[in-house]
Homo-oligomer: A and B are copies of this chain.
Amino acid sequence: MQANLREHIEKIISLTDDEFAFVQSHFITKQFSRHEFLITSGQPVKHTYFVISGLIKLIHTDDNAKEHIVAFAMEDWWESDFQAFYKGTKATMSLQCLEDTTVLCLTLDGYNSLCSGLNKMEYFFLKKANAGHIAAQQRILSFLTSNARERYEMLLKRYPSLFQRVPKTQLASYLGVSRETLSRLST
């Protein structure tokens, strides 16, 4: 499977060929190998990423060097340390490949130029930001209201392909449960 930027954008707005050429001129393509870092905690965040193929994880490492997975992103998803990206501060999270991954990279200048140069793109990003906010609010709700089994089952139902592609230790970290708990849940 390979994501297509134009199809992705045209789910929300329609673009002429010239407009898409303008959009595309703001992105560069980069390839990363499995285990490689797109963003490293403590470093500046130059890009927000659109995943063409592959799988990445957004992680936070706590004071005890324990890794927590904040989000996964695969084909057709946007990911970054958004706080650091928009505010120009240093990353508090890292973004690392779980598979060989191809992404389209957009700088903050590019993001602003897209929004001001093509008003439809501002609308597109507004829709994506609202969707991101809603998804995050649903995840907060799942921490408040659901136990480990329920969170596991919701994830399985919503993103079945993650269970083929992500090691169990990583799924356990995303769900906020131990590897042992996850093993009990998945049998």
Chain A residues within 8 Å of B, Cβ to Cβ: 60, 62, 66, 68-71, 82-83, 86, 93, 115, 119, 122-123, 125-126, 129-130, 132-134, 136-141, 143-145, 176
Contact = CB atoms under 8 A, between A and B. Distances in A.
A150 to B, nearest CB: 10
A126 B137 contact: no
Copies per assembly: 2
A142 to B, nearest CB: 9
A47 B51 CA distance: 34
A140 B70 contact: yes
Given A126-B126, A129-B130, A134-B83, A140 B143 contact: yes
Given A123-B115, A126-B115, A129-B129, A176 B137 contact: no
